[in-house]
Structure 1
Amino acid sequence: MTIQFNKNQRPAVPARLYGVLAKELKNTNPSNANAITLNFRDPDYSAESGGYHPVEVRLEKQNEIWRMIYMTDFAFQGQPYPELAKEIDICFNSHQVYSAFSGWLNPHHGKELVDLFIKNFISYYAMDAYQVEVSLD
């Protein structure tokens, strides 16, 4: 089954990211699903030794077109008992970007962060840094 993405979203989503998502969904049949969640995880990531941050991507179907809802990067935060928390959150519905270091940013101020985050994510994916789990809702 081919999944058609909404490519007119803001913040703009690079075609290479759609390629990553399409590759991970090629063996998925979401015909009865209304949402898809993709979890990209480095199995060796830990608070003690670091590694590649887990990333979650949420897609929802609207009029037979899959729309990106959010893309979130998680990192261990806090001491003495670190917990996974949002570090970067791109909300495609509200056109806002969240950074744990500066809070919610408007699209203009968040563009550079989004571009860098997505570029790095695609690079890490190309290096096989992640194991991917796909969930249908």
Structure 2
Amino acid sequence: MTLTIKRNQQPAMPDRFYQVIEKELANVDPKDANAITLNFRDPDYSAEAGGFHPVEVRLEKQQEHWRLVYVTDFAFRGHPFPELVKDIDICFNSKQVYSLFSGWIGERESQGLIKLFSDNFVSYYQMEVYQVEVSLD
């Protein structure tokens, strides 16, 4: 079953990002689900060693399409007891982008950050650094 993800949402995500999501959902049958969460994790990522940040993607069913709700990149921050916090949060419901170091950012700045994040995310995915878990709600 092929899922149709609504691509004309704002903020805009590059096609390469959608290709990764669609590839991961190619063998998923969400017929009874109203939401899908994808977690991309580098099993070696830690506060001490670093690595590739975990990324969570949430989609919700909207009539016959699936729409992005958020894409969140997490990172360990804090000393001496680091915690996983939102480093970049792309919220499609509010049409806003958050960066840990900048707070909520404007549309022009957010497009540059989204492109940089997406290019890196797709590259890391292609390098096969992530273990991917798909959850249906």
TM-score, structure 1 as length reference: 0.97
Q: Write the mapping of 1:4-83 to structure 2, written as runs, cut at 5 A.
A: 4-83=4-83
Percent same amino acid among aligned pairs? Answer: 66
- Unmatched 5+ stretches in structure 1: none
Counterpart position of 2:97: 97
Counterpart position of 1:119: 119
Deviation at 1:106, TM superposition (A): 2.3
C-alpha separation in 1, matches of 2:108 and 2:2: 33
C-alpha separation in 2, matches of 1:64 and 1:77: 39
C-alpha separation in 2, matches of 1:7 and 1:114: 15
Cα RMSD after superposing both structures: 0.7
C-alpha separation in 2, matches of 1:16 and 1:114: 12
| 8 Å Cα contact 1:95-1:106 kept in structure 2 | no
Give the partner amino acid of 1:47: A
What SS class does the counterpart of residue 113 from structure 1 fall into?
helix
Render the CA deviation track for 1:87-133: whole Å, top value 9, x for unaligned.
00001121111000010112222111111001100000000010000
| 8 Å Cα contact 1:4-1:65 kept in structure 2 | yes
- Unmatched 5+ stretches in structure 2: none
What SS class does the counterpart of residue 116 from structure 1 fall into?
helix
Render the CA deviation track for 1:6-29: whole Å, top value 9, x for unaligned.
111111121111110111111110
